Amino acid sequence: MADSPHELTVHVLNGTGDEWRQRVSSERIVWSEVRALLRTDNRLGRLLRRHTPRAAVTSVALRRTINLVRQLNRSPASGVDVTVYPFSGVPVHAEPSVIVLHDLRALQPGLGSAGFAEVIRRNVARAGAVVMSWPHPYEQAVRAFPEARDKIAMIPLPAFHAARPQLSTEPEPGLLLFPSSTAPLKNHATLLEAMALLPECRLVCPGPLVEPEASRLLARAARPDLRGRVSFPGFVSTEDLASLYARASAVVVPSLWEAASGAMLEAFSWGVPVACADSEPLLAQLDFTGADAAVFAAHDPAALAAAVRRLLEEREHYARASRAAGALLAARTWRDTAADYIAVLDWVRAGRPGPMPRSSFAETLLTKGAR
């Protein structure tokens, strides 16, 4: 933004504008505070999320009702050339627009949500461009929406919490790390059963405590075989998370579905060995980064425990693999990502003349993954 003539108006939650201005100081950004009804991260939202049946949560009727209520807070987009929707479950109501489609979990059997699937399909049809961040969801989107192929772009992100050289330290023996929310698809349940088979290990799982799964996991962690060895600290500061990566012997990613695992990308950045589930998106992530990880059957605690032991026994091999993948990803910066987004936004604003701009870094990843 600093080197371009573009200006941004960014909508943020009511009461957070001053903090955003302090953290992101730019004369080219206007911070607009909006109220958000029916949020899931306040007390009422957590209670509703904990006690509402899944069939209702994922239904089309409920999603339509929530979206109608939330759009009471939308601000008019007067004078705006292009509107970016960073959350694909939010209905597009301004044109031209660009939506960021995180993944297609809502369309997957067993993981899907009819309500979100309806919104995503309508958004893809209406948007001027669709942006994906990683090869696996990008290729899925192209297959799911062939009619939109020419307006779907892949713009990769850098690691959110990249390694800090000053924090390099010896790993703490047996310390396992899995930064993630406690959403069911993250598969903490299998991880905790594996920890019962790994009495020599300790596990830290920082991240949002999403109900109703969080209560079940905390109850399991309190049982005698895990007590004192498994912790769910909730959100932690950037500094505390960096300290955990610096001290971890390994990062374990048991997720059943991801767009791309942030924990895995960050582990590569820190040169920390990775054990991961054999779910399709994680295997694709290993493929396009060229990394080697200790892979286990996603629903098998014994296989997970065996993978962790193999990883710890051959730690230097897996650490080298992570460092090599980290070196590939280190070539990606937030400035690169911003430049790729601006190219797509300009293309949409200009009426989409010619082929859609493509990220050279993304093309490299796609070519690498196709080998």
Look up the CATH number of the domain holding residue 364: 3.40.50
- pTM exceeds 0.75, yes or no: yes
The dihedrals phi and psi of 204, each to the nearest 5 degrees, come to -120, 130
Q: Tell me what the pLDDT averaged over the chain comes to.
A: 86
Banded model confidence at residue 93, pLDDT cuts 50, 70, 90? confident
Q: Give the tokens for residue 363.
A: 């093309």
The residue segments making up the domain with residue 48 are 8-158+333-369
Question: Do 119 and 63 form a contact (C-beta atoms < 8 A)?
Answer: yes
Query: Closest by alpha carbon to 79, among 66, 59, 94?
Result: 94
Q: What is the DSSP letter of 253?
A: E
Count: domains in the chain: 2
DSSP single-letter state for residue 105: G
Residues 221 and 307 reside in one and the same domain = yes
Mean pLDDT of 247-269: 94
Higher pLDDT, 15 or 236: 236
In the chain, % of residues over pLDDT 90: 55
Same domain, 286 and 364: no
> Is 35 or 256 the better-scoring residue by pLDDT?
256
Q: What is the pLDDT of residue 161?
A: 81
Domain-embedded: residue 3: no
Domain for residue 2, yes or no?
no
Kindly give the interhelix angle for 315-329 and 301-313, rounded to the nearest 10 degrees: 90
Whether residues 211 and 71 share a domain: the answer is: no
pLDDT greater than 80 at residue 118: yes
Percent of the chain with pLDDT over 70: 84
CA separation for the pair 371, 110 (Å, rounded): 30
CA 344 to chain centre: 21
Task: Decide if pLDDT at 271 tops 90.
Answer: yes
How much is the average pLDDT of 278-287? 93
pLDDT classification of 49: cutoffs 50, 70, 90: low
Residue 77 has pLDDT above 90, yes or no: no
Can you give the pLDDT at residue 321?
95
Residue ranges of alpha helices (H) inside 24-128 are 43-51, 54-57, 60-70, 114-126
In a domain, 196, yes or no: yes
What does the block give as tokens for 75? 């601000």
Q: 35-57: string of b/e by CB count within 10 Å (b at 16+)?
A: eeeeeeeeeeebeebeeeeeeee
Confirm whether 19 is domain-assigned: yes
Is the pLDDT at 113 greater than 80, yes or no? no
Asked which of 50-59, 140-149, 190-199 is least confident by mean pLDDT, the reply is: 50-59
Q: Nearest CA to 117 among 58, 69, 70, 38?
A: 58
Are 302 and 346 in a shared domain? no
